[in-house]
Structure 1
Amino acid sequence: MTKKNKNIIIGLIAIAIIGIAGWFSFSQNKTTNNKKSHVVTVGIVSSTKAKQDIWDHAAALAKKKYGVTIKIKSFTDYNQPNSAVKDGDIDLNAFQHYAFLKAWNKANHNGVVAIGRTEINPIRLYSKKYHQLSQLPSGATIAVPNDATNESRALFVLKNAGFIKLRPGKDLVTIADIVQNPKKLKIKEVSADQCGRVVSSVDAAVVNNDFARPAGLGKKETIFVEPVNKDSLQWVNIICTRKGEENNKDYQAVVKAYQTAETKALIKKYYGDATIPAWDVKF
């Protein structure tokens, strides 16, 4: 073999070595990039043990079945998670219902969309004077929250209880939208955090779940539970992302990892009948 041929062979070997090294480097970088792209940050509000356990289970399944790593970021109030999603600080959030999202988008020029349902927390009509709906007398006074979304929800509860009829075709209603009130109920508007406290001074009150337990209200005082139907669809909690990211496979994997029989079992364990899994409910 001539010296010239040896040099050619050595050169080809060197090129091959460089190429192989480059391929491994590219492959490693690609793997790293893929790992980064499979990390999904989910924003929630006020992380409790129940929420943490439910999301820990979803995270374990997402990692095992879909190769997606879920990271949870907890926020202290309801004003932050949608802005964080819209700005790209987090990928998803899971803290709100459809009605809240609709109001937020209207006030903030859109930018956030729902990609999956989680659960619904039915609210209740409570009374310390009566044990059944049929016992409420004509002219009874019923307290409802006075803010737009909660008042509307409370009026739909009274509608489904059979007490009133509402003007059709509206998502948010007020007492002005009551078109029939055969029992001549007196609707008393008070702040949401006061509804639980005034139960003793009225005939009944629709009280949000956040304020019912602190007010000592439970099954004993419950005379009606909000049904899960088309009227309550807007109160279903949801997983949301930025507009345009609805079909992101990693985000859809998070939804699938959450919507399982195991999640249903954990919801039942921690919340009993106070929370109902809503992803496979027909409205």
Structure 2
Amino acid sequence: MPHVAPRLVPSQNIRLYASLSMMAFLWGGTFVAGRLVSAEMPPLVAAMARFGLAALLLLWLVRKEEGGLPRLTWRQSGLMALLGLSGVCLYNLFFFAALAEMPASRTALFVAFNPIAVALIGALTAQRLLPIDQTAGICVALIGAVIVISGGDIAGLLIDVGAGFGRGELFMLAAVGSWVGYTLLGRTALGSISPLAATTWAALFGFVFLAMGLLIAGPTQPLQLPTLTCTLAILYLAIGGTVVPFVWFYLGVRELGPERTAVFTNLVPVFGVGLGAAILHEPLEAAMLAGGALVIAGVFLTNRK
């Protein structure tokens, strides 16, 4: 029987918005953790470690919450394989490869373009226009995210990225394209399967693709036992960066749609800057606060009734 999403009441909306905000908070930490891991592991090995552990945890969780994974039809199997290829295998290969080539701030800049890319490609494929308030909200959130990432010097950041456009930037463009595919395909996949089951199947298929890639390519450098720092970073990427936020993301895609859910990812750099100021005592400038306010306003505008 197809999975029918219930209509959300206001209290459920609030819980969902809180979950998607926490999703952005958890993903804000993946840039730091990914940077630590990429310093010790090749991208393919790092992605395998992340999603191998995440797949095990998801299997345990889906068994506990839903009694196990549902059997898939051939069509569902194809969709889950595409989800694993786009959102797990390709996205993470490009993500880790980019982090090995460029600073985390530049990586975050490209991630900030995810929501508008989802909106544009989704509108083209569906041959429809987004409501004007959703379009405005996505644009406002994007501007706010760029202000946060650049510390208020948008022109300087864009000139710097343009002047130094290289392998890392190309990897991040490919990562954005992979995530757009994962997001839009999820809307179709979630018509007959729960967000938790879809995330688990995607992680399993993605891990298989990553393992096949490692077998074909072979290790690019001698493998060594990870340090304690690297091990903790992988644990964070698997649990805080995958299991919890991926399920919440697909819950949002099912209930709100891809565009309204994707705009929450613009909160990622806001939380990243806030965590840096709170934990690492990094400077917090007025422009960053203003940019954060714009992101929050954009998220609200996109999701208001």
Confirm or deny a common fold (TM above 0.5). no
Could you say which structure has the higher helix fraction? 2
Q: Calculate the TM-score normalised by the size of structure 2.
A: 0.27
Could you say which structure has the higher strand fraction? 1
Looking at both structures, which has the greater relative contact order when contacts are Cα pairs under 8 Å and sequence separation is at least 6? 2
Q: Calculate the TM-score normalised by the size of structure 1.
A: 0.28
